[in-house]
Chains A and B, each alone.
Chain A
């Protein structure tokens, strides 16, 4: 199927174009953006990212490990320190807290790599180096018979360049 790439300067114009396309049931859209723009947040109507599951699992694993490790260690080799209980939950909370953040953070990074299929050694066919600098790109995959319609719609929304990308 042909891919059409529109190059935009204004994120809100791109968002409008994408909304119009979706309203005409073009579902296969891809956006390239050099920075996050609030205008683009809800444009693609994507499902919530699965990365957050990684974060949750990491955080819960961290808090469990933090308490389990410290309590197990101090009960395995009990030493009275300053008359405090062997398994002191109050100070061990610090370790549990830090490990929650550490594991949560690391698993978020791993999740980001896994879900985003990173690092990507082959770039997306429609990618252009301008999308990492000053422009935004909207890539539409459509049927041959719709190419003219999509092309017109992109230009209508101030796409400064529309090209057909060879699949």
Chain B
């Protein structure tokens, strides 16, 4: 039995697609303007909170994109082909995460988001104090940024041979990154050897680091609430959104030059299987926290869920006397409506679990680009809403539309534009998306 011949990959730099890049720049301008307008308004905290939500969303998504690529490297997956390059492209945002975290520190945005900065909690001061917070968070982002850049540079090097002459721009960079070229075979082998060392380290650091990001940047927004599983849940949300982003981009790029025919039905089928299985696991992680909180019924734990789902999802439904013991499944949408954020939480469940589960259950939907891309898009929206529902109810408990206002939308559009622009530069200009070479 002969092994399939290894596929050679070549970077394909093409220059920025102009209308799209200009749209991204316009979105960034909208974002910056909204952010500045928000800071100058009477309520600068709104701008910082919206910034925080988007910061978390793209931080988790981009870093997890690299973790997906690392997973492919560790298990020696042959099926992803160019899909691995797309997942790596998401990681181009990772250095930006570090810069944005620095920005929050320098501009002092954290005190608008974390209540324990202006009102320190004495008993938790050993952990919840700004010095410890920033050392941990910047440390995690910095180490992961360095490792990510090392991984990306090692990973793209074998694809850069002879590309410098053909590149429309950034020729110097291409030459520098492919200096001392030793031939395709040797470069590929050396790259794979180094990646196999880097990949497990990045995966472990992601698990530990992003659990701590979840504890520090999300859980501490409600400083009296705690759940051991929350870190894993938060990191997994980032991972699942990265898989969804990879699937969506793969579907969108399936006709782009060099990738024609490579995002075929069987690859889409595999991406669909990952979305399906991982979304079940996401719900499983949620349930594992929820059932313990439901069963224990301790006020300091149930508060967090009561603010998001409402008392109907808890044991003590607020019904008179012992009626709630008898009416185990007493549930009404009218009472759901009384909890400000309950509909938002329902939307998150629908987007991140119900839709992927029921739509991707069959084989044919997974193999259809429209359905797979559509579900991936719905999940990406769902995880953006999820990041909102994790942050806002702790800070503005009574206003059901606190997360949705002109400033918030503007900032979200700005982040979207910036993320898309970084991805476009990475995949189109330098180091450019690698596509299977045709000899």
Pair A86/B266 contact, Cβ less than 8 Å: no
Considering the chains assembled together, what is the distance between the CA atoms of A87 and B266 in angstroms? 44
Q: Mark B313-339, 1 if CB is under 8 A from A, else 0.
A: 001000000001111110000000000
Does A167 sit within 8 A of B, measured CB to CB?
no
Pair A86/B325 contact, Cβ less than 8 Å: yes
Give the contacts of B1-22 with A (CB-CB under 8 A): 1-2, 4
Shortest distance from the beta carbon of B325 to any chain A beta carbon, whole Å: 5
On chain B, the residues within 8 Å of A134 by CB distance are 1
On chain A, the residues within 8 Å of B4 by CB distance are 12
Pair A38/B266 contact, Cβ less than 8 Å: yes
A9 and B325 in contact, given A84-B315, A90-B291, A94-B291 (Cβ under 8 angstroms): no
Shortest distance from the beta carbon of B293 to any chain A beta carbon, whole Å: 10
Considering the chains assembled together, what is the distance between the CA atoms of A154 and B280 in angstroms? 46
Considering the chains assembled together, what is the distance between the CA atoms of A91 and B287 in angstroms? 10
Q: Out of A10, A48, A87, which one reaches B2, CB within 8 Å? A: A10
Q: Mark A60-93, 1 if CB is under 8 A from B, else 0.
A: 0000000000010000000010011111111101
Does A144 sit within 8 A of B, measured CB to CB?
no
On chain B, the residues within 8 Å of A85 by CB distance are 315, 324-329
Q: Which of B294, B328, B329 counts the most chain A CB atoms within 10 A?
A: B328
Residue of A with least CB distance to B315? A84
Pair B363/A48 contact, Cβ less than 8 Å: yes
Pair B325/A84 contact, Cβ less than 8 Å: yes
Shortest distance from the beta carbon of B195 to any chain A beta carbon, whole Å: 23
On chain A, the residues within 8 Å of B266 by CB distance are 38, 41
Residue of A with least CB distance to B325? A85
Pair A93/B287 contact, Cβ less than 8 Å: yes
Pair A83/B315 contact, Cβ less than 8 Å: yes
On chain A, the residues within 8 Å of B363 by CB distance are 48, 52
Pair B295/A89 contact, Cβ less than 8 Å: no
A90 and B290 in contact, given A48-B363, A83-B315 (Cβ under 8 angstroms): yes
On chain B, the residues within 8 Å of A2 by CB distance are none
Pair A87/B329 contact, Cβ less than 8 Å: yes
Residue of B with least CB distance to A136? B1
Shortest distance from the beta carbon of A86 to any chain B beta carbon, whole Å: 6
On chain B, the residues within 8 Å of A105 by CB distance are none
Residue of A with least CB distance to B78? A38
Pair A91/B327 contact, Cβ less than 8 Å: no
On chain B, the residues within 8 Å of A88 by CB distance are 328
Q: Which of A38, A52, A90 counts the most chain B CB atoms within 10 A?
A: A90
A11 and B1 in contact, given A38-B266, A90-B294 (Cβ under 8 angstroms): yes
On chain B, the residues within 8 Å of A86 by CB distance are 325-326, 328
Residue of A with least CB distance to B79? A38
Considering the chains assembled together, what is the distance between the CA atoms of A111 and B2 in angstroms? 34
Shortest distance from the beta carbon of B289 to any chain A beta carbon, whole Å: 12
On chain B, the residues within 8 Å of A91 by CB distance are 291, 294-295
Pair B291/A10 contact, Cβ less than 8 Å: no
On chain B, the residues within 8 Å of A48 by CB distance are 363
Considering the chains assembled together, what is the distance between the CA atoms of A89 and B326 in angstroms? 13
A80 and B325 in contact, given A11-B1, A48-B363, A85-B315 (Cβ under 8 angstroms): yes
Considering the chains assembled together, what is the distance between the CA atoms of A10 and B290 in angstroms? 52
Q: Mark A1-38, 1 if CB is under 8 A from B, else 0.
A: 00000000111100000000000000000000000001
Residue of A with least CB distance to B280? A97
Q: Mark A39-55, 1 if CB is under 8 A from B, else 0.
A: 00100000010001000
Shortest distance from the beta carbon of B309 to any chain A beta carbon, whole Å: 11
Pair A89/B325 contact, Cβ less than 8 Å: no
On chain A, the residues within 8 Å of B324 by CB distance are 85
Q: Mark B383-412, 1 if CB is under 8 A from A, else 0.
A: 000000000000000000000000000000
Q: Mark B63-80, 1 if CB is under 8 A from A, else 0.
A: 000000000000000010
Shortest distance from the beta carbon of B268 to any chain A beta carbon, whole Å: 14
Shortest distance from the beta carbon of A138 to any chain B beta carbon, whole Å: 15
Considering the chains assembled together, what is the distance between the CA atoms of A94 and B290 in angstroms? 12
Q: Which of A9, A11, A12, A85 counts the most chain B CB atoms within 10 A?
A: A85
Pair A89/B328 contact, Cβ less than 8 Å: yes
Considering the chains assembled together, what is the distance between the CA atoms of A105 and B294 in angstroms? 29
Considering the chains assembled together, what is the distance between the CA atoms of A39 and B50 in angstroms? 49
A-B complex: 8 closest residue pairs judged by Cβ atoms: A85-B328, A87-B328, A90-B294, A85-B325, A86-B328, A90-B291, A10-B2, A89-B329
A interface residues, Cβ below 8 angstroms from B: 9-12, 38, 41, 48, 52, 71, 80, 83-91, 93-94, 134
Can you name 21 A-B residue pairings with CB atoms under 8 Å? A9-B1, A9-B2, A12-B4, A38-B79, A48-B363, A52-B363, A80-B325, A83-B315, A84-B315, A85-B324, A85-B329, A86-B325, A86-B328, A87-B329, A88-B328, A89-B328, A90-B291, A90-B294, A91-B291, A91-B295, A94-B291
| 20 extra interface residue pairs, beta carbon distance < 8 Å, beyond A85-B324, A90-B290, A93-B291 | A9-B2, A10-B1, A71-B328, A80-B325, A83-B325, A84-B315, A84-B325, A85-B326, A85-B327, A86-B326, A86-B328, A87-B328, A87-B329, A89-B328, A89-B329, A90-B291, A90-B294, A90-B295, A91-B294, A94-B291
